[in-house]
Structure 1
């Protein structure tokens, strides 16, 4: 059984990260100054670059400790690590450039720095991913286990136990249950780890059995026992976690935060509630939209001319949609139908062989080219490149009564494409399934997730067989 202290692993990770930076330095030096691929001689000797590489390695390790990169990540997805890696090297580069400016070291090659930093991000991401996969494989085979004791053999405790059994890659093994009202499980739960005592036996059990974490899964009536349980666990140096008795009515990722000096449970963790995440997403949206508009400008002009030539009416169709925080906005599309009353377009679905469509409009809808003007909505701040698709207020009012959690999608900006759409849920498809995808995206947003969705949208193509 492989059991190493977290302190040793943290130090090992830090040392390996520092050495990895030096390895990438050697590669970047060779590529820039020795390979002949980028013909350029360095005005500074190798030892000067090596000195700054060592300084950068130290900065990377310090930044990693400061932003929590070296904390245990057994329970987290790799996307968490990937984002931390980008943050670490972005911070480290800014610190290094500041130091270079202060000491007036102006002859460091900018191309070298670009190769050096990007190489570090890529290499660290690859080797951390491989380590995470290897550790998961070892845990599935029974190595590097952590032992868990569950307090409460009721429905909450059993549900947690069942979930752990379904995820062996996490490497947790339940040693048993403690319960004040049962001595053994009901016959239908045969095969479960045994009930090895009552809650009052916790002190003695922690003294004679190796336990890494205690999970409190007791009913609300046992609230008065929590202080004694936590004190016993902290005395033994064992981590304690509490599953609230009402967990089944909470969303997938609630979290604690401080409000007016009191810890409260926020029932839904939304990464884009954080200002820095919104800023990162907004910068990406603006840059991506500007690039998309510039690249497609000739196509935009051709489509506008074709619409004018094939039907009467404006080129751009504007329609009210519900956006961020349920605020209405006017969404832009290329007009694909004959001009009709606003009431008709706002309250009717398009159907197969809809007589309101123009022949050129049918082509635009099938290829999703009618959505291109929405990049201007993104620049205005009404929309994002990636997010839940916005709906007309008339239908949103209907769906919120019929579909659970439908309005949760309005916690963030709507998007031109989204996780649901990139997964094939476009046009005449299940709205319930789309909402499930939208909520997963809202609770698991990362910039890498956005890029993955955009890439998937491009790979899957723009032709929408369900578009009418």
Structure 2
């Protein structure tokens, strides 16, 4: 199999440098268009003075939006991301030129550059993505575990955005012997289910010795070891497993940032909220806002606020039901409010009050929390932090997925928490506004099976 390391850090740095050069050429071309070849020195000098700060902001936004992460994308993602980043850059440049007193920087150049840079960068990223696909290619995968774990892994890989990972083998018994026999035909060994400890260690040794990538599922035992602290006690090194919580200092800073940001967003979004309230009143009977009891940090109950998107009688006969794709209870205006996430805006008030955070696990209703706790004993861990308007599961997973998958995303978020991660999630939440699937409810239970092109080994 291919030993290519794909697009490593060095290649990504080169791509970032070329991004900056192309962005600079887009500015130069925009000046050329605006002034028809005769570029005034005073205007171009203002751009040159601000250029270092512009390029730093440009690279930071590209990194935060995951522009340089290729494995989970398709060409349409680069179009969305390029437009979003260049639009944000337009606002950043306007603010920057005001603060820096570079008043000779023409506003028309910002508009023209938005169009030109989006075109230049998108074309360049198509080239880079095609090169990535040619250089890194498809990765052949062997999934290992019980029948259900392997079938679920195959379903997830086959429904991913791109087809970079191709599953060729599913090993459902005699794990070590079958892996050893067929390992030369694959690039990745994915331990999708629980395996007896001694056999698992032998598989680890086999994969590392043969230079094969090893994927592990997000089971509780694997998540416990995320972000460990390594300590040296005399002549022994000890691994301290971190818990599923955020330190008090980080929690105070997170709460302060949430309060200030939600207050600003409420002021900015007030016109949208006012128009939404009027539309709801005109198109359906019932109140504008919808209150519902949810669970947040330390199992505390609170009333979540949302714009009403369903009929008033939605659950009078059925009782509590999770929202689903193609939900007949949703009002006509409610579909648009959900797809654009406008129905979530009143939750900024919940953030101000301290019931919620901007980023965190999505809050669930007591009825479902009790149900999920019975099915998964680790469900309570997601309530070690405040629930959020958006979260790791919403950005990196699918909205239409089961609670166990969402729980794994939530626990990963808690383990990996940092201020930068919150910024990243908030910025990438903008992207999912374009994703229709992410605004739907849970899917009906999917049928799991082994495709014909997957060799099943026992």
Structure with higher RCO (Cα < 8 A, 6+ apart): 2
TM-score by length of 1: 0.49
| TM-score, length-scaled by structure 2 | 0.50
